[in-house]
Amino acid sequence: MIKRPDTSCDFPKSVCIYEVGARDGLQNETCLPSQSKINFINLLSQSGLSHIEAGAFVSAKRVPQMADSLNVMRAIKRQDNITYSALTPNIQGFEMALSARADEVAIFASASEGFSQHNINCSISESLKRFEPVMALAQLHGIPVRGYLSCVIDCPYDGPTPANQVLQITEQLIGMGCYEVSLGDTIGTGTPFKVANLLDTINSQIPSRKIAVHFHNTWGQALPNIYQALSMGIDTIDASVAGLGGCPYAPGASGNVATEDVVYLCHQLGIETGLNLDVLAAAGWMICQQLNISPRSNVSIAMKARQLQ
Amino acid sequence: MIKRPDTSCDFPKSVCIYEVGARDGLQNETCLPSQSKINFINLLSQSGLSHIEAGAFVSAKRVPQMADSLNVMRAIKRQDNITYSALTPNIQGFEMALSARADEVAIFASASEGFSQHNINCSISESLKRFEPVMALAQLHGIPVRGYLSCVIDCPYDGPTPANQVLQITEQLIGMGCYEVSLGDTIGTGTPFKVANLLDTINSQIPSRKIAVHFHNTWGQALPNIYQALSMGIDTIDASVAGLGGCPYAPGASGNVATEDVVYLCHQLGIETGLNLDVLAAAGWMICQQLNISPRSNVSIAMKARQLQ
């Protein structure tokens, strides 16, 4: 029998767009000069965003695109009402994040064992254990911690990820002190019924304000998935201006859903974002020019085409 | 108040994908040699499609891309179970369609006066009147007629199109003898609540088997709109392999939704299409190579990326 989407919740009246383009996005593009990133984040800061992922304190050898995060985060022009966050896999990273005046840090785990082993070379439970010192330090310094959970729908090694497994690890991340967990469809194979099934399970145990969704558009399904998630009361959505990031698991394909496309959807549904779409699109065109690529956002391209008419 | 999508109907168990790439698509791309189109339609015919729009008998001066439709439709290798259709604006066009052995013909109207005036230089009611001789001839020859209705959500000249106006013209087209009306979001500004509102109105008076939807992805919203339409029992979806067609109203932007992306969504929702996605994607890559463009289909690009891994 074909399942219906769960529309037992109202759509949220407003959503928080968590902008990940400057970290999750740029981490998977060619390296840029620090000043380009600073200009990009400064322009994003004019768009009305409340959360901007601004850097990562990870191995410069493995992720050269983020090697200058300390300089970038020190040089950006801060807005009082914006949370600038950084990815911190360990204590060294956390201490650099502190030094970079990150308002928030993030840790990450996989919802599937196969991806955990391949991506960070340890089991899920080992990976969570490694984050305990970071959590302790963050608590000491009063820094909020966000959790990223990958492969929540499918894993390239293990196949479909059981929703109960996602729930269990999400609960562990919250138990460790994460104020929110961002559920990532890392390979972008999710479709609305799978999302409904996952969120049914998650919503049964965890308040939706502690859950964000992070969809990839690799198979073109990010917006229907976001529409499904909105219909189930999810009100925090990760997105990347201009779809920055591509897909590390399918070179040439799309990755992160474009912020512009999500914002257009929300505004047209009457859901407030507080965002200025023109400024977001301008930031996308600016950084894409630096990267010598076109925005991976239909909305951004349609806006430009309309301007040129 | 934010509206919920209407999920009072079950999703259909199977859908008909009405492939418009070889006409609506290629009509808005650069001109190709006849043999390229013949090869394209022949490959599409291997994919399991039941309906292929194969040509148009319109002014060769205004639409040079379709000037060879007679030769193309005569030369294609027909499959018994496939309906090959052609657009026929007048009696001359209808007679050429007969000569080309079209199994079905199509007429078109606008749901908004502004678009009707700008596009075909007459009012909606005048345009319907002009099709009466075509309808009479089609009935005489036992040829089914499909109706296309454009600007069913928004019009570039008149703004939002009232759902009741769309209903009224749809009823007129059915009253004139169209077996089905394809509702087109011509400028692609539709989003799911607008689609729900329109289909609520349409479904209240017209059986859903007489309605098809035709979404453009110019603003990235085609798949959420299709998901909404499916949830309301719509089971015929127009789509264009590789997103052929672009957007005539926003050069450089996306137009027709890509068949591959629709099929991926349907299959993952457990909705049968009878289609072989590999063959469809191969047809898209073949014709895009001829056009010297990349497929405007995330699914097609992700499939290729996976093959290359």
Between CA B294 and CA B90 the distance in angstroms is 35
Residues B224-273 have pLDDT tens digits of: 999 999 999 999 999 999 999 977 777 778 899 999 999 999 999 999 99
Interface test with B, best of A237, A241, A298 (most B CBs within 10 A): A298
Question: Which sequence positions of B are flagged as catalytic?
Answer: 247
From chain A, the residues in CB contact with B304 under 8 A are 252
Answer positive or negative: Cα dihedral of B37, B43, B44, B50.
positive
Query: Is B10 domain-assigned?
Result: no
Closest CA to A280 of A230, A232, A244: A244
Between CA A73 and CA A76 the distance in angstroms is 6
A54 to each of A75, A105, A263, how far by Cα in Å? 11, 10, 20
Neighbours of A60 (CB within 10 A): 12
Interface test with A, best of B254, B269, B272 (most A CBs within 10 A): B269
The yes-or-no answer on residue A247 being catalytic is yes
B118: amino acid identity, one letter = H
Separation in Å, CA of B2 to nearest CA in chain A: 7
CATH number of B164's domain = 3.20.20.70
B247 close to A304: Cβ distance less than 8 angstroms? no
Q: How far is CA B213 from the centre of its chain?
A: 8
Nearest to B193 among A7, A269, A306 (CB): A269
Q: How far is CA B26 from the centre of its chain?
A: 12
Strand partners, B146: B106, B180
Query: Is A143 domain-assigned?
Result: yes
Closest CA to A158 of A109, A219, A216, A112: A112
Residues B271-304 have pLDDT tens digits of: 999 999 999 999 999 999 999 999 999 999 999 9
The answer to whether A250 contacts B194, with C-beta atoms less than 8 Å apart, is: no
Nearest to A306 among B4, B250, B261 (CB): B250
Indicate the pLDDT class of residue B121, thresholds 50, 70 and 90.
very high
From chain A, the residues in CB contact with B251 under 8 A are 305, 308
The answer to whether B227 contacts A227, with C-beta atoms less than 8 Å apart, is: yes
Separation in Å, CA of A232 to nearest CA in chain B: 10
Domain count, chain A: 1
Structural domain of residue B280, as residue ranges? Answer: 16-308
A166 close to A111: Cβ distance less than 8 angstroms? yes
DSSP H or E stretch at residue B281: helix B277-291
What is the phi/psi pair of residue B87, to 5°?
Answer: -85, 130
The answer to whether B223 contacts A219, with C-beta atoms less than 8 Å apart, is: no
Rounded to two decimals, the ipTM of the complex is 0.94
B299 close to B277: Cβ distance less than 8 angstroms? yes
Nearest to B2 among A4, A10, A247 (CB): A10
Residues B4-26 have pLDDT tens digits of: 444 445 799 999 999 999 999 99
Query: Is A4 domain-assigned?
Result: no
Query: Is A56 domain-assigned?
Result: yes
Between CA B19 and CA B158 the distance in angstroms is 29
The fraction of chain B above a pLDDT of 70, given in percent, is 97
DSSP H or E stretch at residue B266: helix B259-268
Strand partners, A78: none
pTM greater than the 0.80 cutoff: yes
3-state secondary structure of B38: helix
DSSP assignment of B23-35, as one string? IIIGGGS----HH
Any idea how long chain A is?
A: 309
Query: Is B98 domain-assigned?
Result: yes
Indicate the pLDDT class of residue B2, thresholds 50, 70 and 90.
very low
Between CA B54 and CA B72 the distance in angstroms is 8
CA contacts within 13 A on the Cβ side of A5: 29
Interface list for B 217-236 with A (CB within 8 A):
217-221, 223-224, 226-228, 231
Between CA A11 and CA B34 the distance in angstroms is 50
Closest CA to B29 of B60, B5, B63: B63
Between CA B292 and CA B288 the distance in angstroms is 6
B302 near A CB under 8 A: yes
Between CA B190 and CA B66 the distance in angstroms is 28
3-state secondary structure of B288: helix
Over range A85-91, report the average pLDDT: 97
DSSP assignment of B81-146, as one string? T-EEEEE--SHHHHHHHHHTT-SEEEEEEESSHHHHHHHHSS-HHHHHHHTHHHHHHHHHHT--EE
Query: Is A10 domain-assigned?
Result: no
- DSSP category for residue A66: G
Nearest to B11 among A2, A217, A228 (CB): A2
Neighbours of B126 (CB within 10 A): 12
For helices A132-141 and A91-99, the axis angle rounded to 10 degrees is: 30
How would you classify the pairing of strands A159-160 and A154-155? antiparallel
What is the phi/psi pair of residue B45, to 5°?
Answer: -65, -15
Any idea how long chain B is?
A: 309
**A190: nearest CA partner in chain B:** B268
Query: Is A11 domain-assigned?
Result: no
From chain B, the residues in CB contact with A261 under 8 A are 219-221
Residues A16-28 have pLDDT tens digits of: 999 999 999 999 9
Between CA B273 and CA B235 the distance in angstroms is 10
Torsional class of A57: left (φ above 0), alpha (ψ -120 to 50), beta (otherwise): beta
pLDDT at B107: 98
The answer to whether B301 contacts A217, with C-beta atoms less than 8 Å apart, is: no
Q: Per-residue pLDDT for A45 more than 70?
A: yes
The answer to whether A228 contacts B231, with C-beta atoms less than 8 Å apart, is: no
Which residues lie below 8 Å from residue B62, measured CB to CB, with a gap of 6+? none
B142 close to B176: Cβ distance less than 8 angstroms? no
Query: Is B5 domain-assigned?
Result: no
3-state secondary structure of A230: helix
Indicate the pLDDT class of residue A192, thresholds 50, 70 and 90.
very high
Separation in Å, CA of B55 to nearest CA in chain A: 28
Q: Per-residue pLDDT for A94 more than 70?
A: yes
